[in-house]
Structure formats: C-alpha cells, structure tokens
Structure 1
Amino acid sequence: MAGHSKWANIQHRKGKQDKLRSKMFSKLSKEITVAAKMGEPDVDKNPRLRLAVKAAKSLSMPKDVIDRAIKKSESGDAADYTEIRYEGYGVGGIAIIVEAMTDNLNRTASNVRSYFTKCGGNMGQTGSVSHGFDRVGEISYAASVGDADTVMMAALDAGADDVVSDEDGHWIYCPLEELNAVSDALEKALGESLESKLIWKAQVLTEVDLDTAQTLMKLIDMLEEDDDVQDVTHNFDIPEDVAAQL
C-alpha cells in the first residue's frame, strides 16, 4: 500500500488540475503527437498513443484537438522532441523526478536547474533518486465506483498488484508492461477509469512540516508551469494537520 501520497488528494481538492487545464492540454497534445510519430497513428496498435489519448479524454480534451495532434505527427512540420529525465533533491532531501520533452536540451536543463536552486534544492545525476521509485502502471477510479473490497477484488482478478482506497477514490497499481491489459479488464468490471498511466511510485514516503511543504509546493508549481516539463514525481507526504494549515 506504500506509495500513495495525500498530496495527490490535496491537489485534487484544491482544483489544481483545473487551474492547469490549458497547460495540460498543451503537454498532452505534444505527447499525442510524439507517441503517434514514434509508432502508428492508431490507438489500437500503439499502446503509448492509447494512454495519451485516454489521458486527454479524462481532461475532456475535444476530439478535434486530439485528432489534430495525431495528424500533426504525419506532417513535416512536427517538431523533433527529445525525451529526458532529470533527478534531484528538494529541501529536506526530498527526491524529485522531472520528465521532460524538449526541442532544446540546453534551455530545459538550465530552466529545471534554476527551479531547484531557487527553492533550496539541487540537481543530481540520472539515477541518483529514481532507485527509490518503482516504474509501474496506475489506474484511478472515483470513490463512487464501489467500496474498497469491491475494487480490490476486481483489481486482483484483472492482474493488478496493489490497491489504495480512501474517501477521494481508488488507485490501482500493476506492472508497467501489463497496464493496458489490466486497464481493459478493469473497464469491463468497473467501467471506464478516470486515468490510466505509467508513473514513478515512491517506495517510501517522507512526511514534511509546514515550511518544507510550502517550499516544495513552490518548486513543484514552478516545474509544472514549464512548457517542456511533462510530469513531476516526488516522495513527500503532507500530514493532515499540516495540510489544514496550507
């Protein structure tokens, strides 16, 4: 059950995803184009594209925007992006993984390094923090889909490894190579999920105090605001009493 952070719930409750809606549309459009360009522009034959399209639909991205992003992969004007992972530490030794997709490595590296520095953190070498995370598939459902026991049974039958449930919803974890198969099986049992994606799941979470939480939140916000950054993962947890003060 380790690895699920209350911080995800705090983000949800604060409507953070709504605030970043337009930014997420841009990032997902880029991911859709790259996924389609690297494989086939067919969601049934391209697992990565399928995940990207599902993520876009979960944010209610219009179908015509999704279609345009796929078609862009077949045109000559689609930019050549490089995928890169940065790793580092925030204040309090908190591990942070930053996944980016960029057409200018120097710009992105410089920006990411500056965010860490401004918030009292520092960049590390590739592999310096990722050893403390597992690369797994995560499928999320709303709490209304059923109680914890119902979801647990459906998840185990579908081939999942772990389930975390609370008042905000259910998070189901599986081996990364099984994500599409488990997602399909769960869809038959529980209906369409809110989201299905590959994540870095922290092996151990570290609780933080108010000052540390505020500084880390500032760093996460700066990273997520960057157009080149696709995803940010960390291993900190905010206790309920600290969350109430934020």
Structure 2
Amino acid sequence: MAGHSQFKNIMHRKGAQDARRAKQFAKVIREITVAVRSGLPDPTSNPRLRAAIIAAREVNMPKDTVERAIRKASGAAGGDDYVEMRYEGYGPAGVAVIVEALTDNRNRTASDVRAAFSKHGGSLGETNSVSFMFTRVGLIAYPLDRASEEDMLDAAIEAGADNVETTAERHEITCEPDAFFAVRDALDSRFGEPDSARLDWRPGTVVTLDEDKARSVLKLLDVLDENDDVQNVYANFDLPDDVAEKLSA
C-alpha cells in the first residue's frame, strides 16, 4: 500500500541471499545476547528475549541456532558486551533518519554512521534532533486469517492497545511502549504467537520523494543497514506508487 513503507524497518539489501541471511542472523543473535544478559535466559520470564525470538522466526532462523545463541549469552565465559546507541540525522531531501545500534565499540560505530551520512548527502545530528518528528510505539502484527477485524479490535482494546489497523496483508496493533509486553502477551494468549512484535518509530509527517531523491535516500539507508552494528533504520519518507514500481523494476 502506498505510504506504508515508511512505517517499516528498512530492509532494502542487495547481494546474495545467503549473505543477507547471514547478516540478518548476526543482528538477531546480537539482540538475543543483549536480551539474555539484561534479564534471564528463560523467555517465559524475559519479555525482551521473547521479542528477540519472534524476530529470529521472522528471518527464519533455525531453532537450534536460537538456542545456541541463548546458551552462549548465558555462559560465564562472557564474550562481547554490547551497548545500545541511537543516532539521528537528516538524509538527502531532508528525510529524517533514526538509526538504532548495538555495539561493542561506540567510537567505531559513531564514526561509521557519521561517515555514511556525510558520504551520501546527509548529516548526522545530535540525539533528539529528529526523534521529535516520530512517535515511539509498540507494534504487533498478525496475519489476516488469525482473527476477524472485529475480534482483533475487541481483543486489542481489552488488552490495552491504542489502535488496530487492518490492511490488505495483516492486522497491525499499536500501543504505548510501556504497555507493549502486556499487550503482546494478552494477544498471544488469545491468538497465538504474532508474526512480528517490536518497538517501532512512526513518523508524524513524511517527505514524498521523486525517483532521483528516492535513489539517494535508499542508498544511504542501504549503507547504514549493511553496518553490522546497526539493528534498525527508520526514515520518514513516502514513495508514490509509480516511483516504487520503477525502483523495484
């Protein structure tokens, strides 16, 4: 649907499918590591770990790979320690960009992100320089066949969600970040595990791009997303249908 892509993490990658999958797996494993070390290795008592496991299933990570990552993260041997970082700036055409990272070297990651912005027509700003243009929400998604629009709406309201949007592809439930885990667990108990469950940045306003500007913006987002330390990239742009078709051709 036109105008919907700006609500999703940018996953526009090039190259071999195996390379993409390896990079996706590495990023999910990093999130599993942080989740385990910030709580417990048991997903039933660690909400962040449950969310990481859902993310692993989204990218079709094998169950044994997930379990191995949990065991490694919970081991006494230590290993890499990651800190969460957020970078904000403007890309080409004034598009606002938020970059979320998990890094074991802040200086390296900051330098890499700054270089990506500078090289591709953008500029890195200070923290909160663009996040005020977005709203932080919890986002839970279910396939259409899991429930009717009315049943999903009723259950979401009862669980404490703020809104349900039913598209041609799925039900999308949004809620306040503080209510995210409670809403997700309530819906899980009624409809089963969601297809996706994560915290998301949603833009309040969007920049509509023509083909040339879209290519420039997507190039920056590609470079950012290819960085091993970068977990998620959000941007407040919209692609008209004809531009999206040309870029996907």
Same topology, TM > 0.5: yes
Which residue in 1 is equivalent to 2:35?
35
**Mapped partners of 1:122, 1:245: distance in 2:** 27
**Mapped partners of 1:8, 1:97: distance in 2:** 12
Residue pairs, 1:1-246, within 5 angstroms: 5-7=4-6, 19=17, 20-73=20-73, 74-246=75-247
**Mapped partners of 2:117, 2:174: distance in 1:** 29
Once the two structures are superposed, what CA deviation does each residue of 1:140-198 show, in whole Å capped at 9, x if it has no partner? Answer: 12233345444333322322111222222222101112112211222233332101011
Runs (5+) with no aligned partner, structure 2: none
Say whether the 8 Å CA contact 1:5–1:205 is kept in structure 2.
no
The TM-score with structure 1 as length reference comes to: 0.88
Say whether the 8 Å CA contact 2:141–2:171 is kept in structure 1.
yes
CA 1:45–1:146: 2 relative to 1, 3 Å: closer
CA 1:127–1:15: 2 relative to 1, 3 Å: closer
Once the two structures are superposed, what CA deviation does each residue of 1:101-128 show, in whole Å capped at 9, x if it has no partner? Answer: 1111121111111111122011000110
Give 3-state SS (helix, strand or coil) of 2:45's partner.
Answer: coil
Give 3-state SS (helix, strand or coil) of 1:88's partner.
Answer: strand
CA 1:99–1:60: 2 relative to 1, 3 Å: same
Once the two structures are superposed, what CA deviation does each residue of 1:218-246 show, in whole Å capped at 9, x if it has no partner? Answer: 11111111101011111111121221221
CA 1:230–1:9: 2 relative to 1, 3 Å: closer
CA 1:239–1:190: 2 relative to 1, 3 Å: farther
CA 1:87–1:243: 2 relative to 1, 3 Å: same
Aligned AA for 1:112?
A: V
Once the two structures are superposed, what CA deviation does each residue of 1:23-50 show, in whole Å capped at 9, x if it has no partner? Answer: 1110110111111112111112222112
CA RMSD of aligned residues (A): 2.4
The higher-RCO structure (CA 8 Å, 6+ apart) is 2
The TM-score with structure 2 as length reference comes to: 0.87
CA 1:232–1:15: 2 relative to 1, 3 Å: closer
Which has the larger displacement, 87-96 or 110-119?
A: 110-119
Give 3-state SS (helix, strand or coil) of 2:232's partner.
Answer: strand
Aligned AA for 2:64?
A: D
Say whether the 8 Å CA contact 1:6–1:239 is kept in structure 2.
no
- Give % identity: 45
